[in-house]
Amino acid sequence: MVAGIIGATGYAGAELARLLSGHPKTDKLIFSSVSFEGERIENIYPNFLGRVCGTLLKADEVVASSDVVFAALPHGVGEQYAASCMERKIHYIDLSADFRFDDDEATYSAWYGKQYQYPELHKNSVYGLPELNRKRMRELAAKGPVIVGNPGCYPTGASLGAFPAIAKGLALADNAIIVNSVSGTTGGGRELSRSFHYAECADSCAPYKVASHRHSPEIAHNFAAMAAMTGNAAPSLIFTPHLAPMNRGIVSTIYISLVKEWRVTTGSAAAALPPSKEIEAKTDEIRNLYTDFYRDEPFVQILPAGITAATNRVRQSNYCDISVHLDSGGTTLIVAAAIDNMMKGAAGQAVQNMNILFGFDERAGLEAIPALF
Ligand SMILES: NC(=O)c1ccc[n+]([C@@H]2O[C@H](COP(=O)([O-])OP(=O)(O)OC[C@H]3O[C@@H](n4cnc5c(N)ncnc54)[C@H](OP(=O)(O)O)[C@@H]3O)[C@@H](O)[C@H]2O)c1
């Protein structure tokens, strides 16, 4: 099979090249670039020398010769390639936000400032979070070529961390779910920007785009989708991203107010107490519920008591590690979810989606265990 990558010189595109070069079903890789057309990819990324090689083509040439196309482009430039892929009857997996909102163009336009160029393409595209939409991806792939809107990096970890609480009716719909996420700098891509200069982001950690990050509507959509699927009311969202001086990884700490049936106490008066036996027992109960919810998921792991999710324990892997905690007041569930933003947050998840569309083993090409350092 020939896999094509449009935008291969960016961080997500290069990560796709690295992963697909080791994929058992990929015989050949072809790549495109605007800025480096005609140059060799291994000269742009010397870690590819002798390993992942080839000349960077035009995007149209990649589309014309591929059996599946991945687009790792800025938002708003990829729809034309999706249209060409549908004409050629091949699957198209888009890592930008262009196909993440299905036909909800109003939300996309409000947050991304762009209009759909090919509105009809958005009627049958699918949001590619396997843990939410695997069945729909399979159904669409059985009928013909599919456009997948690969999820954003923050929404992947935040959604996976909150889904079981929403689906099993633990989350109090009256209170917002609060998500505080910390990301490494590859999340911003390879394009230069001042806030990513070493002197401005090393040795510091700060929130950014407070109450205004573009991933907020995507996370809220996912909460609502899981609530609708399971007949529950969807809590609202307060999302605050932070930039940390590390290359890869996102850890999201998620605060979920529990419905009264799941609370250990009736109020917050006990908040200053040390954890009690009752808290430990309730935490075990919720951890078991989370484990059961994800029992068939190849890339979501619920951690045992005493281990907290951390970015370095999922590094370079497609896993989402989740740890479950309860505040000592007994009213708020605290979930930590860690992913590698380049993997489960981007390229790894895109390969997982390719595996689903083609009916391959979902783990194919993604079996590397995390690299702790
Ligand atoms: N980085 C992450 O952690 C992450 C996670 C999830 C999703 N994403 C999404 O994945 C996409 C790529 O992200 P990235 O981090 O890889 O960004 P990036 O490093 O800035 O790469 C963007 C790529 O698009 C190409 N490009 C730029 N403008 C173009 C245009 N007008 N037409 C065609 N190609 C153009 C660029 O290079 P050339 O000039 O060589 O063509 C480059 O290859 C974005 O939509 C991003 O939101 C990224």
Distance (Å, whole) CA 371 – CA 314: 7
- pLDDT tens digit string along 101-160? 999 999 999 999 999 999 999 998 999 999 999 999 999 999 999 999 999 999 999 999
* DSSP-derived pairing of the beta strands 320-326 and 332-339: antiparallel
CB of residue 75 inside a 6 A radius of ligand 1: yes
Looking at the chain, the whole-number percentage of residues with pLDDT higher than 90 is: 94
CB of residue 80 inside a 6 A radius of ligand 1: no
**Domains in the chain, ordered, with CATH?**
2-150+346-358 (3.40.50.720), 154-339 (3.30.360.10)
6, 34, 96, 214, best to mutate for ligand 1 pocket (most atoms within 8 Å of CB): 34
Is 153 known to be catalytic? Answer: yes
Kindly name the residue from 53, 85, 153, 201 that is annotated as catalytic: 153
Q: How many CB atoms lie within 10 A of CB 77?
A: 17
Indicate the pTM of the whole model. Answer: 0.97
At 260, is the pLDDT very low, low, confident or very high (cuts 50, 70, 90)?
very high
Distance (Å, whole) CA 6 – CA 66: 11
Q: Which residues, including other chains, have CB under 8 Å from residue 287's CB and lie 6 or more apart?
A: 302, 304, 305, 324
CB of residue 190 inside a 6 A radius of ligand 1: yes
Cα angle 90, 149, 175 (rounded to 5 degrees) comes to: 160
Burial class of residue 192 in the structure, from the number of CB atoms within 10 Å of its CB (0-12 exposed, 13-18 middle, 19+ buried): exposed
Between the alpha carbon of residue 130 and those of residues 13, 205, 244, 254, the distances in Å are: 20, 31, 28, 21
11, 246, 247, best to mutate for ligand 1 pocket (most atoms within 8 Å of CB): 11
Return the ligand 1 atom nearest residue 341 CA. 3
At 267, is the pLDDT very low, low, confident or very high (cuts 50, 70, 90)?
low
At 269, is the pLDDT very low, low, confident or very high (cuts 50, 70, 90)?
low
DSSP 8-state symbol, 44: H
Q: Is the pLDDT of residue 307 over 80?
A: yes
Q: Is the pLDDT of residue 301 over 70?
A: yes
Ligand 1 center from residue 15 Cα (angstroms): 11
DSSP 8-state symbol, 126: E
Looking at the chain, the whole-number percentage of residues with pLDDT higher than 70 is: 98
Distance (Å, whole) CA 183 – CA 205: 10
Q: Which residues, including other chains, have CB under 8 Å from residue 321's CB and lie 6 or more apart?
A: 301, 303, 309, 310, 313, 314, 337, 338, 339
Q: Stretch 82-88: mean pLDDT, rounded?
A: 98
Ligand 1 center from residue 355 Cα (angstroms): 22
Distance (Å, whole) CA 67 – CA 90: 6
Distance (Å, whole) CA 205 – CA 245: 7
- What is the residue-averaged pLDDT of the chain? 96
Q: Is the pLDDT of residue 222 over 70?
A: yes
pLDDT of amino acid 270? 53
CB of residue 186 inside a 6 A radius of ligand 1: yes
Give the position of tokens 């700060």: 206
pLDDT of amino acid 204? 95
